[in-house]
Structure 1
Amino acid sequence: MKIGVCGTGRMGSSIAQRLMAVGHEVAVWNRNADKTKPLTAAGAKLSASPAELIKGCETVVVMLLNDAASEAVYRGPSGILGADLSGKLVIDMSTVRPDTMVSLGTSVAGKGGAFVECPVGGSTAPAREGKLFGLAGGTEADLAKARPVLEQLCRRIEHVGDLGAGATMKLAVNLPLLVYWQALGEALTICKPLNLPPERLIDILSDTAGTPTAMKGRGAAIAKLLGGEKPGETAFAVSAAKKDLATAVAFGQSIHASLPVTSSALKCFEQAEADGLADADATTVPVHWVKQQTGKGSNA
């Protein structure tokens, strides 16, 4: 199948790699064309615009940073909505506001295309392995068209409702984990006087009821950071995490829901970004917090 990937940041690139690995003919587009070079070097075809990407593919997977990027890529010059969408399938996996998904999906349908939103749980490694958790919104008919592709990208697909439902569920899924990274930083801070080795401290905290599944894969990396080692590959950047928290807070306000803990965590992520950690993995936030609160000693 000819599949386009619109947006080749960390997640978009990982998704494109997965699609190529399972045998699809992949075309790519990104606002910064330099980010497509590893993919084109591996055999992907470069498109000059989102509209050209749509024209040359049966299905296009969209993975964009935020609402502003989505609006620009869909509605801007040579954007997705400027193409002939008759018979085309758009699968949008971006994490944006639910009302944005409703608006974009409705516009795609109005031009004859099928549209499924499917933001995902999981980072770059699960994306490359086809082990994401898809949170789909849209019609049953459109999802049926999208399933063959989604099943190659996701270990689990949940159809949670009409357009906007997937985006809502994704914000809910991300929120507790991101709040946890800040809470972990605070927990590590009060453990500072114990002078325990980082590996032991993380091992103890990881074997408790309050620890998320993500610690199984990220705990060792956090312990290394606490010990003064350099961070590894970024799977989910602080800037992206901050954006997701801000989107959740804004959506909460729009439905008159108060999110005080999320709002507090957002301020901490904003500070981490301002302190130069925008491109670092979100798991650097708890370590950064410890160092902010207790100086630059490496043992937590």
Structure 2
Amino acid sequence: MQIGFIGLGAMGSAMAGRLLAAGHEVHVWNRTPQRSEALRARGATVEATPAQAASRSQVVVTMVADDAALASVTFGDHGIAAGLANGAVHVGMSTVGVDAARDAAARHQAAGQRYVSVPVFGRPEAAAQGKLFLMAAGAQADLEAVSPVLDQLGQATRTIGPEPWQANLVKLLGNFMLMSMVETLAETGVVAERAGIAPATVVEALTGTIFNAPPYQNYGASIAAQRFRPAGFGLPLAQKDNRLLLAATDALGIPVPLASLLHDRFLAVRARGIGEGYDLSALAIGALADAGLRWNGQ
């Protein structure tokens, strides 16, 4: 299959590499051209613009940072929409807001093009192995058309509903649950430390029994060790996703008190200069500060 891939950060590069390894012909574009070179060496065709990549593809995947980036690479000058053939499919795999997904779907439809949302759960190493979890939404025929792409990238695909934005909301809700988990792990750790119990002991005891799941184990170990770098799920991106969730719940008229608490926690941690390069687990610095405990600066 001829596939366009737009956005070659850590996740995008791993996903595009997976598609190349599966034998697809992949046309790539990235805002920073140097990031395309490793994939060129593996057989990808590096295109000059998103429109050019789209014009040569049956399916175009985007994996970009935020709503503004999605709008730019899709509908900006020389964007995907300018090159995508009638009936071709744009697969939005980025974590973006509900309104951004609605806008993309409507504008593609008006142009005779198709759009589905398939945001993902997982880290770059899982992407490289085809072990992401995919949340898919859109017309059933459109999802079937892109199944050769999804099958290579994910170990499981969950169909959420017929409207693309529905998958984006589920992705934001999943990230909200991860952020909430990080906060509870952080608070648990500082209570244990104040009581004279090593945080690692508590984390191992709980994540080896009633909370025996990879997210608890992985984030719990990082928080107990105060190991907040390098970033897997970057703190600024997590903060962005929390804001998008609050915007979505505000539009629905639903209070989400814990998301509001997390909003303030993000602001407090960012005010300490904690930002780019730090993982979501660095949210725990707020709980450490509240308890009057020092962190080791990792």
Amino acid at match of 1:247: L
For residues 105-137 of structure 1, the C-alpha deviation after alignment (integer angstroms, 9 at most, x for no partner) is: 222233232221111122222211111111111
Amino acid at match of 2:113: G
For residues 184-234 of structure 1, the C-alpha deviation after alignment (integer angstroms, 9 at most, x for no partner) is: 212212222233344323202324545754123444343333xxxx65542
Q: Which residue is 1:110 aligned to? A: 110
Change beyond 3 A, Cα 1:292–1:31 = farther
Change beyond 3 A, Cα 1:192–1:223 = closer
- Superposition misfits of 4+ residues, deviation over 6 angstroms: none
**Matches for 1:213-232 after TM superposition, within 5 Å:** 213-225=214-226, 231=228
Change beyond 3 A, Cα 1:287–1:209 = farther
Question: What 5-or-longer segments of structure 2 have no aligned partner?
Answer: none
- Point out the more displaced range, 267-276 or 4-13: 267-276
CA contact (8 A) 1:5 1:26 kept: yes
CA contact (8 A) 2:190 2:199 kept: no
TM-score, structure 1 normalization? 0.89
- Point out the more displaced range, 253-262 or 210-219: 210-219
**Matches for 1:115-264 after TM superposition, within 5 Å:** 115-163=115-163, 164-207=165-208, 209=210, 213-225=214-226, 231=228, 233-264=230-261
Q: Which residue is 2:277 aligned to? A: 279
CA contact (8 A) 2:88 2:114 kept: yes
- What is the rounded CA distance, in whole Å, between the counterparts of 2:216 and 2:118 in structure 1? 25
Q: Structure 1 residue 250: deviation in Å?
A: 0.7
Change beyond 3 A, Cα 1:276–1:233 = closer
- After superposition, the CA RMSD in angstroms is 2.2
Q: How many residues end up aligned between the 2 structures? A: 294
- What is the rounded CA distance, in whole Å, between the counterparts of 2:96 and 2:295 in structure 1? 38
Question: What 5-or-longer segments of structure 1 have no aligned partner?
Answer: none
Change beyond 3 A, Cα 1:109–1:119 = same
CA contact (8 A) 2:185 2:220 kept: no
Match of 2:158, SS state, is: strand
Q: Which residue is 1:91 aligned to? A: 91
- What is the rounded CA distance, in whole Å, between the counterparts of 2:179 and 2:148 in structure 1? 31
Change beyond 3 A, Cα 1:144–1:21 = same
CA contact (8 A) 1:10 1:235 kept: no
**Matches for 1:44-63 after TM superposition, within 5 Å:** 44-63=44-63
Say whether 1:73 aligns with 2:70: no
- Point out the more displaced range, 10-19 or 209-218: 209-218
